[in-house]
Amino acid sequence: METAVKNLLKQERVAYILQRLEELYPETPVPLDHKDPYTLLVAVLLSAQCTDERVNQVTPSLWELADNPADMARVPVEEIQQVIRPCGLSPQKARAISKLSQILVNEYHGEVPENMAALETLPGVGHKTASVVMSQAFGQPAFPVDTHIHRLAQRWGLTSGKNVAQTEKDLKRLFPRDKWNKLHLQIIFYGREYCTARGCDGTVCDICTTCYPARKHPKKTKKA
C-alpha cells in the first residue's frame, strides 16, 4: 500500500529552508553598491519601486554630485532629480534625499543615526528602508520584508501574509535572531533566482516542492 505524501511540519520547513539557503548562498553581498551608511540609506530610498541594478547604474552619477549629507544638502533639488530620474518617482525621491541630508547635518552632526526610530522619522524612510540600514550598515538584527520575502513566506507557509508587518513579525518569531540579517538577503536572492513571481506558483521550485510535496494547486499569494 502506498504511503501518503505528507507536507513538512512548520519547524521542519524552517530547518530545511535555513539549510538549503545556506547551501545556495553561503555569502550574502549587499545588492546595493554603497561605501557607508549614508550612501546605503540613499540607495535604499532610490530602490523603492525600482530594481537594484538600475539604482547601481544611477548612484555613481549621484555620488559625483555629492556623496555625503553636507554636500548633498547644498545641491539644488532639480539637479538631484535630473540624475535620479531613471529610478522613477524622481520628484518625491529628490525632495526626500535633499531634506533628509539637511536633517542629518542639522540634527545628527552629518551622521546617519544608528537608531530605528530616528531613521523612520527621516523623509522618504519607511520601516523597511530603516530595517535595511540597521541590518546592512550597522549589523543590528533586523528583518526587512520586501515583496520577494512576503511572497515566499506565504508560499512556504511561514505566515498568513496579510501584510508585510505581519510577515516580518512571523519570520522574526520563527527564525533565530542571529540569522535575520543574512537570511533576509538569502530569501531575496532565492526569490529572484528560483521562486520568482511568475516562474514558481508554489509547486515548482526546490524549496516549495520539498516543503509541500502534497500541494496540488498553485499557492495564491496575498499582495502586501
Catalytic residue status for 172: no
Q: Per-residue DSSP letters for 149-198?
A: HHHHHHHTTS---SSHHHHHHHHHHHS-GGGHHHHHHHHHHHHHHTS-TT
Q: Which amino acid is at 118?
A: A
Number of Cβ within a 10 Å radius of residue 23: 8
Q: Which of 146, 162, 170, 179 is catalytic?
A: 146
Q: What CA–CA distance (Å, rounded) separates 197 from 182?
A: 22
The three-state secondary structure class of 134 is helix
The answer to whether 159 and 165 are in contact (CB under 8 A) is no
Catalytic residue status for 182: no
Q: Which of 36, 71, 93, 128 is catalytic?
A: 128
The catalytic residue positions are 128, 146
